[in-house]
Structure 1
Amino acid sequence: MYMVFRMPPLWLRGWCCWLLLWLGVAGSAQAEPLQLTQARASIEIGGNVQSVDATLPYVWDIWHKGAQGHAVFEMSLPLADVPDEPVLLYFVRLGNAYEVRLNGNLLDRRGDLHQFDGDDFAQIPRIMSIPAGVLEHDNQLQVRIRADHARRAGVAAPWVGTRDEVMPLYDAEYLQRVTGTRVVVIVGLLMGSVALALWWTQVDPTSPGKRREPLYLFAAVAEYAWSLRVGGTLLASPPVPRFWWDILSIEAIGVWVAAMLMFSAMAVDWRGRFSGPYLERALQALLLSGIPCAVGAQWGSLWMLTAWYTSLGLVALAFVVEYCWAAVRQGSALHRWIAATLILNMCVGIRDWAVFRMQMTLGGNTLMRYSSLVFGFLLLYIVLRRFREANAQVFHLLSTMEAQVASKERALQTSYAQLELLAREQERVNERTRILRDLHDGVGAYISTAIRQLQSGKSSNHEVLQTLRDSLEQIKLSIDVMHLPAGDVTGLLANLRYRLEPKLSAADIALSWDVDQIEPVKRLDAAGMRHLQFMVFEALSNVLQHAHASQLRIVAKAHGHIVVIRIVDNGVGFETARPMRKGLLALHERARAIHAALAIHSRAGQTEVEITLD
């Protein structure tokens, strides 16, 4: 059997050739700086000095665990061609304090070489310029350091070369260890401040004591602790003594791990064997034990710090395993995202622990400082998600409320229509009641009197006819009042005068009229006008029928908003103390109906009826 191979397309072959050519040119064009890896070292620990041949990088904590001291490294730098322009000398890590000389010329010095546990300048890469004229064919590079125990002191293999050769190495390392660290610290502090503000402001008003959301508090503590831990690498001179600063930095790792685990559990309301009280007690024990372990590491027992890191990792690993298993089985999308973030940080943490605790490398960068940023983005996602859910709930509530308000409005409109119908019906009933009452009190009374006169046989036809005429006058007065404007007291009295003055003249009663032009009384509606007309008509009828008077005076005056109507005759009078008859009872009842004050004074020779409207 033969296998047939087809040539790739012409355009693909052209691109491959171009790429290979470019890589070859780029590779040949990239110059390599010189790296010094061998040195003669003079080590001084506790007054004892020994000289050894050292291979760089020289990691102090590997060769002199738990000790502090000084060291001088002598390195040869032979050059075939002496450059006529400045060159650069670059150390990935150097110190804790250091002094660098080339051929006896001082290139750089940082920190006090004699004060242990002082300022630490080994946290960031160091680059030095070698001026033109200093280099020779045979050069001697001398590096003095002060090495504090458990502080990753030492000397990295230096690079020597032109600016174009060395600066890319320095820039790459500076970007990761300094610029990247600054970004992590700024983002961490920003996220922590946001989380703290949310914890302070987001209060559940329905919970006892107005409980705050602990999720945001754990997130804030974690971000602040990690910013403290990572940002310490940028501080050559810490704000507190170095001994306590290192303990604080170590404890910050435990605080960050504990807060992140609690944050992860609370973010999805997860309850497992390694959450809740068990996790809290384990983390509390680790945080308490972290202080003596950090102190022991400061005194030379690095194994205590390694054991503490291992214990912290095991607790975190147990939590992560169960948490991730629950996320895979029945977790939400957020649960799975947090699980993936935990796995990422666990893997990166194991890598950093192996590199910096087991291998004790000099230089290099911790990757966990960057992977930890994912928790900050998760916090932002949770905040945005809760904000979106809150907006959705508010929108739903508003929609529901709008529907309920519309439903209530329709119900109110229906109720209003029903009430309006009932009110109209009630108005018609009241109107019928009023008409019946007016007929009963006015026309009915006269008709009843006429019937009694006819039944008695004692009254003349003229008397019966007069009674019926009075009944007709009552009807006319009722019609008159319907056409009067509401509150027109003057018009009402004038109508009465027009209707009753002929009767008064026929009865030889002289009428004295003293009525002013009164502004309409606003509170007197049509019903009130009818009540007032009846009251005045009843008083005048009593004068005609019972008073035997020869003079009648009608007075109406306005005193501000108060109107006073007085009807005075010079008749025989009557006893006001005796039980009131039907006519007087009706007067008082109608006065109450229009909230008027009624006063009746009577004696022989004068009877006065006073109606006050206020």
Structure 2
Amino acid sequence: MTALARLLLWAWLLLAAWPAAAADAVPPPLPGVLELREAELSVRLRGRAEPIISQTQLPLHWDVAYRRQAGWARVRLAFAGDALQAGQPLALYIGRVGNAYRVSLNGVLLAEHGEMRQPNHGWIGKRPLWLRVPGPLLQPHNELVIEIRADILRRAGVSEVRLGPEAALRDAWHASEWRHVTLPRAASIFGLLVAVFCMLLWWQQREALYALAAAWQAAWCLRVTARWWEDAFLAWPEWFRLTQALFWLGCVAGYALVRAVWKGRPRREQWLAAGVLVAWLAAMWLGPDAVLACTVALLAAWAWLLVRLLRETWRAPSGERVWMSAAAVVCWVALVVDIATARLLPARYDEGGLTVWAAGLSGLAVLVIVSLRFQQTRQQLLALTHSLEDRVALRESELAARHEELRRLERASVKAEERTRILRDMHDGAGAHLITAMRQLEGGVASRGDVLQTLRESLDQLRLSVDALSLPLGDINALLASLRYRLAPRLEAAGIALDWEVDLLPLWPGCTEEALHHLQYILFEAISNALQHAQATRMGLRAQVQGKGQDQAIVLELRDNGVGIRGGSGNGLRTMRERAALAGVLLELQGGVGGSSVHIRLPLA
């Protein structure tokens, strides 16, 4: 065990032993106050007609003097009036009296509470009694009579009686009220708040330790509440069974909390705990003697368990184990002292017990245990979060590397597609014309002008392919302008007049680079056909937007006044239709005696 854990454990045990040492200290005598101890006692036990008269010395602890018996007692205290200071307000202070009582001075009733004739009435008498004594009642020889009703196992009796100046007794009464009522109430409220706090933690995180800590603390503090609660809301013996049930529930919850802190216990130990619990359930219906025997057995079992827990904590210390062991030791010591006080020590009748102090200290221990477990859980969550962050960072780096690789492959694919397109354009355009020119030269039939015309068409196709690389995407006006710039000289040289009617067109939203190249080739092929085969003298190009809504489109119309399209099944026309399908445009070819026309529809929707 670490040095800090040992220091905490010893400090805890010394703090727990301090209330007992303070209770054993004899309070100093108060100036001018009579302490009335010598008394004549008259006892009438239930079921006996003749009273038992004897001389006794207070305090009278009924459960010790008359075990397992109920009855009534009359205490007569004689004192001289000249022993008190004259002219000062007087008061009577009794540390504890009950179960029901009646106090008289010289035959005048000063106070009473509870039903004297009704056994087991709800009044229990746990608070200190403080009464003002009228000065005219005092005589040279006085007799103070205290009558009580005593019930079995309810701590009936009469403590020391003090009579003297009100100012001198008020502080003593306040101190006793503070010790027996105010501090126990504060301990109970503190414990219940701790229980509520633990339940809220359990509701949020669903960890069993928080719920067990709440149950242990709630049962313990409710049992302590029964130590200062004056008016029982249940009749006897139901009240006795309720308080015992709270005590045993606290023991069960405490053992379950031990199992949660130690993360399991041996099987034989669990069987022993279950056996003690079953024995107590049977004893509840057999009577107080059986309950007391089970309580003694329970304390013995807890003593054996505490020895094991302390030994295990010494060998493998942890913050939770140290505080749980200390809390269990404190509670066990308090229970043993309180039971011994209530059954064996009549001089300690006035004491409220150490259970109240143990409740407050156990509440503090529960807070520490819960905070340690919460901190441990938080550290685990932080470690898990850091681990997840590291995994996410690693995964992000892997994804970034893969993304970069995909981008590289994409760029390579784009370059390959661009090379393929250029090669296809060169093959279908400039390449085809060059091959035609070679065949013309090899055949020797074509004239020099025909060969030059073929070479010019090849050069125009090559220039248009180069221009297509710099065309803005979707800009049909730029495409038509480039086409006019390259082909207008050839049209003029061939004697074909060009009618140009092109509106300011919007961008083609469905356009891609490939579609733009296909559209350029279609227009170039249509104009080349008109130059080579139509024998036309006039050609017109019209471009405008037609339709509305979903039917709106850019319509390109190319017309000539030549001989029209012949056959309609050549390689050039077939290539035009294939490219129109690839570009996603509508192509319509018409031809006749009055000329031919090419309609291209580019949808804008």
TM range (shorter): 0.7 to 0.9
Question: Would the alpha carbon gap of residues 347 and 488 (structure 1) be closer, same or farther in structure 2, given more than 3 Å must change?
Answer: closer
Paired residue for 2:111? Answer: 108
* Equivalent residue, structure 2, for 1:564: 555
| Counterpart residue number, 1:85 | 88
Q: Which amino acid aligns with 2:297?
A: S
Task: Give deviations 1:103-155, integer Å, cap 9, x for gaps.
Answer: 22222221222222112242121111112232222111111222222211122
Distance 1:192 1:515 in 2: 86
Deviation at 1:427, TM superposition (A): 3.7
Shift of 1:466: 1.5
| CA–CA separation in structure 2 for the residues paired with 1:507 and 1:424 | 43
Highest RCO, 1 vs 2 (Cα 8 Å, sep ≥ 6): 2
AA of the residue aligned to 2:117: H
Residue of structure 2 equivalent to 1:573? 565
The 1-side partners of 2:147 and 2:28 are apart by 36
In the alignment, what sits opposite 2:425?
438
Which residue is equivalent to 1:368? 355
Match of 1:199 in 2: 202
CA distance in 2, matches of 1:506, 1:379: 104
Classify the secondary structure of the residue corresponding to 2:146. strand
SS at match of 2:275: helix
**Structure 1 equivalent of residue 184 of structure 2:** 181
Q: How do 1:389-400 and structure 2 match up within 5 A? A: 389-400=376-387
Paired residue type of 1:174 = E
In 1: Cα distance, 2:283 partner to 2:171 partner: 39
Secondary structure at 1:229's aligned position in 2?
helix
Partner amino acid for 2:558? I
Shift of 1:538: 0.7
Q: State which of 62, 66, 73 in structure 1 corresponds to 2:68.
A: 66
The residue number in structure 2 matching 1:215 is 209
1:282 corresponds in structure 2 to: 275
Retained in 1: the 8 A contact 2:331–2:362? Answer: no
> Could you say which residue in structure 2 is the equivalent of 1:172?
175
Instruction: Work out whether residues 306 and 357 of structure 1, in 8 Å CA contact, stay in contact via their aligned partners in 2.
Output: no
Are residue 349 (structure 1) and residue 335 (structure 2) matched? yes
User: Helix, strand or coil: the match of 2:284?
Assistant: helix
Partner residue of 1:487 out of 452, 460, 474: 474
**Letter aligned with residue 419 of structure 2:** R
Corresponding residue to 2:232 among 235, 238, 243? 238
Distance change in 2, residues 1:146/1:30 (3 Å): closer
Paired residue secondary structure (1:379): helix
Aligned to 1:248: 242
Kindly indicate whether the alpha-carbon contact (under 8 Å) linking 1:535 and 1:587 is maintained by their aligned counterparts in 2: yes
Q: Alpha-carbon deviation of 1:176? A: 2.1
Find the aligned partners of 1:254 and 1:554 in 2 and give their Cα distance: 103
Distance verdict in 2 for CA 1:410–1:336, change over 3 Å: same
Contact 1:219 1:263 in 2 (8 A): yes
Unaligned runs of 5+ in 1: 1-26, 204-212, 298-302
* Cα deviations by residue, 1:489-528 (Å, 9 ceiling, x for unpaired): 2232234334434544555555443322212335545554
Greater Cα offset, 261-270 or 552-561: 552-561
Query: How far apart are 1:451 and its partner, in Å?
Result: 1.1
Confirm or deny: 8 A CA contact 2:69 2:152 kept in the other structure.
yes
Preserved CA contact (<8 Å) 2:77 2:143: yes
Q: How many Å separate the matches in 1 of 2:224 and 2:485?
A: 108
Matches within 5 A, 1:499-518: 499-504=486-491, 507=494, 509=496, 511-518=498-505
Q: Deviations over 1:149-200 (max 9, x none)?
A: 2211122231112235433433333222111211221112112112222233
What secondary structure is seen at the aligned counterpart in 2 of 1:320? helix
| Structure 2 CA distance for partners of 1:333 and 1:199, relative to 1, 3 Å | closer
Identity rate, percent: 32
SS of match in other structure, 1:180? helix
Distance 1:451 1:152, change over 3 A: same
TM-superposed deviation, 1:218: 2.5
590-599 or 348-357, which deviates more: 590-599
Q: What is the aligned counterpart of 2:584 among 579, 591, 595?
A: 595
Q: Distance in 1 between matches of 2:28 and 2:352?
A: 29
Moved more, 405-414 or 179-188: 405-414
Tell me the SS of whatever aligns to 2:200. Answer: helix
Partner residue, 1:540? 527
Residue 153 of structure 1 is matched in structure 2 by 156
Q: How many residues align?
A: 568
TM-score (norm 2): 0.85
From the superposition, tell whether residues 305 and 527 of structure 1 become closer, same or farther in structure 2 (CA, over 3 Å). closer
Q: Distance in 2 between matches of 1:48 and 1:391?
A: 70
Using the alignment, how far apart are the partners of 2:396 and 2:267 within structure 1? 54
CA distance in 1, matches of 2:469, 2:424: 15
Partner residue in 2 for 1:41: 41
Q: TM-score, normalised by structure 1?
A: 0.84
Match of 1:313 in 2: 299
Name the SS of the counterpart of 2:380 in structure 1. helix
Q: How much does 1:36 deviate?
A: 1.6
Q: Secondary structure at the match of 2:73?
A: strand
Amino acid in the other structure paired with 1:345:
C
Q: Secondary structure at the match of 1:80?
A: helix
Contact 1:574/1:604 (<8 A) preserved: no
Matched residue of 1:133: which SS? helix
Helix, strand or coil: the match of 1:242?
A: coil
Match of 1:17 in 2: none
3-state SS, counterpart of residue 572 of structure 1:
coil
> What do residues 436-481 of structure 1 show as CA deviations (whole Å, max 9, x unaligned)?
2222111111111111111222111121122112222223333444
Q: Label 1:28 to 1:459 Cα distance change in 2 as closer, same or farther (>3 A).
A: closer
The letter of the residue matching 2:556 is: I
User: Secondary structure of 1:107's match?
Assistant: strand
User: Which region of structure 1 is more displaced relative to structure 2, 94-103 or 239-248?
Assistant: 239-248
- The question of 1:330 aligning with 2:316 is answered yes
Deviation at 1:412, TM superposition (A): 4.4
Unaligned stretches of 5+ residues in structure 2: 1-26
SS in 2 for 1:52: strand
User: Against the structure 1 CA distance between its residues 195 and 112, is the aligned structure 2 distance closer, same or farther, given a 3 Å change threshold?
Assistant: same
For 1:28 and 1:543, how far apart are their aligned partners in 2?
A: 133
Q: In the alignment, which residue of structure 1 is the partner of 2:572?
A: 583
Matched residue SS, 1:67: coil
The answer as to 2:31 corresponding to 1:31 is yes
| Aligned counterparts of 1:491 and 1:273: Cα–Cα separation in 2 | 90
Cα separation, partners in 2 of 1:596 and 1:283, compared to 1, 3 Å: farther
CA pair 287-545 structure 1, distance change in 2 beyond 3 A: farther
Evaluate the alpha carbon distance shift between residue 542 and residue 405 of structure 1 in structure 2; reply closer, same or farther with a 3 A threshold. Answer: same
1:391-413 per-position Cα deviation (integer Å, ceiling 9, x unaligned): 32333334334444444444444
The CA RMSD measured in Å over matched residues stands at 2.9
Of residues 93, 97, 106 in structure 2, which corresponds to 1:94? 97
Distance 2:538 2:412 in 1: 46
User: Partner of 1:113: helix, strand, or coil?
Assistant: coil
Checking the alignment, whether the CA contact within 8 Å between 1:265 and 1:275 is kept in structure 2 is no
- Greater mean alpha carbon deviation, residues 243-252 or residues 491-500: 491-500
Which residue identity is paired with 1:314?
A: A
Shift of 1:93: 1.5
Deviations 1:246-288 (A, max 9, x none): 2111222112122112212211214225544x14522431441
Structure 2 Cα separation of the partners of residues 129 and 406 of structure 1 = 80
